[in-house]
Amino acid sequence: MIRAGVLGATGYTGFELLQWLAYHPHVEIAFATARSDAGKPLSALYPTDLDIQLQAVEDVSLSDADVLFLCLPHGAAQEWAQRGLDAGAVVIDLSADHRLHDADVYARWYNQPHTAPHLLAEAVYGLTEWRREALRQARLIANPGCYPTSILLAVAPLLNAGLLDGATIIADSKSGVSGAGRSPKLGSLFVEVNENLKPYNIGHVHRHVAEIEQELHALAGDHAPRGIVFSPHLLPVSRGILSTIYVPWPQGLSADDLRALYAETYADEPFIWLLPEGATATLAHTVRTNRCAISLHPVPERDQLIIVSTIDNLVKGAAGQAIQNMNVRFGFDERAGLMPVARARVQEV
């Protein structure tokens, strides 16, 4: 049994994480912190029966936790990652603070300096299915962003096989409103979002572009794509991400070859759901689960392959993947605490 601490427990991601951790067979919750709601039970903020008393971060002892989850805004996680490491905890950062390897790149995309650049080289990017060996020894795990998770898992088999050398990847992604966080913002208000579909930060300006392109190169090695054109949209639903991804048709391969590549790559992955030929991934395939559903749509007559990928932004895109990474790091069954939504091998509908 290990003890888990959660810093920033009252945002959507922190609350989601606590709900999953509370039923994990190998985890006890050591503490959960909140900035302005310290002293209140979690049930005073959310409709839940979880009997968790929120504490001020200054009042907890980080050494009480074997694993420390940081559900903090970018910028705030840097100090607490170092403190957690100094206290002997494995740190899993759900913010963006340790995803980028280069402090200058971080400063350019997040408009602030990185105060602990020495940690960037140590942080393991936690795209679980592709980083298991590094995760087993990691002290600091950078949990991937939700949009990058949906895109990278969809194209990783092609990248790993060197089939997107020099290509431009186009990703059209749509996210539920919970992806914008719990703090009130004009653009997230019901009247602004309901019966509307809003693109934002389209092209090559969203902060996740840097993270996506870094990992595209890491997965492809010497056969890296040129980069990505990324167009996110705000979808009038509470949760879920659907990414429609356009890549050049890999020359010399048939549609059957591509399907075989994906089936072989993800055959033993409990949370990757490759849909059968003719099916299309939807939010309903993955919402409230730790799955990523992928469907392949060949358009060889136009030299294009379309890939549709869906995840729950709060689970596989955040809390669920963090628990999956924790399971790998501590040697638990990777499905522990996530078993109700695990799928063995490639599933057919």
Catalytic site residues?
A: 146
Place of tokens 């006890």: 28
CA distance 257 to 157: 12
| CA angle, residues 338, 290, 12, in degrees to nearest 5 | 100
> Residue 235, by phi and psi: left (phi above 0), alpha (psi -120 to 50) or beta?
beta
* Cα 191 to the center of its chain, rounded Å: 28
* Cα 94 to the center of its chain, rounded Å: 8
Q: Of 220, 208, 246, whose CA–CA distance to 99 is shortest?
A: 208
Instruction: Tell me which H or E stretch contains 29.
Output: strand 27-33
Strand partners, 32: 6, 54
CB distance 345 to 267 below 8 Å: yes
CA distance 42 to 47: 9
Rounded to 5 degrees, φ, ψ at 190 are -55, -45
Collapse the DSSP code of 284 into the 3-class scheme (helix H, G, I; strand E, B; otherwise coil) and give the result: helix
CA distance 120 to 100: 7
CA distance 193 to 183: 15
